[in-house]
Amino acid sequence: MPLHRRRLQWRGFNQAALLAKAVARRMGCGLDVMALTRIRDTPPQTSQDSTQRRLNVRGAFAVTGAGRIANRSLFLVDDVMTTGATLNECARTLVAAGARKVDVFTLARAL
C-alpha cells in the first residue's frame, strides 16, 4: 500500500511495505513496491465514513509502468483494512492498467 511521499517522510517508514516484504519472502515470490504509487496526498481516513473514504481515495493512485503489471496476477498487501476503500481503489487502478487479477492480504481487520 503506497504512502504519499510527504507522509512517508513524516512517518519515516511504510508499515505495509515492511509487511509485504515479509510476506513475499515467506511465500517465495517477487516484490515490487514501486509498481503502484500514491499521486495525491489524501487526508487520513480515520474520521471518515465509508462513503467519504471511497471519495477521498478516488484517483489517488497510479501505476508506474503498465508493463510491470500487464496480464499478471498481483498480491496487494496492507496492514489494516477498515472499509476496504483504499484497497478497492488500488485494485481498481491495477486492473484498469492491465493486471489480470488482484488478491489482497491484510494483517488486521478493523470494525
88-104 pLDDT, tens digit each: 999 999 999 999 999 99
User: Could you tell me the three cell numbers for 56?
Assistant: 477521498
pLDDT at 76: 94
For residue 45, pLDDT beyond 80: yes
Query: How many distinct structural domains can be found in the chain?
Result: 1
pLDDT at 9: 82
Q: Choose between 47 and 30: higher pLDDT.
A: 30
pLDDT at 65: 82
Quote the domain boundaries for residue 9.
5-109
For residue 13, pLDDT beyond 90: no
Mean pLDDT of 15-40: 92
Q: What is the pTM of this model?
A: 0.88
What whole-number distance in Å separates Cα of residue 93 and Cα of residue 99?
Answer: 9
What whole-number distance in Å separates Cα of residue 86 and Cα of residue 56?
Answer: 9
Q: Residue 28 class from Cβ within 10 Å (0-12 exposed, 13-18 middle, 19+ buried)? A: exposed
pLDDT in tens, 49-60: 999 999 999 999
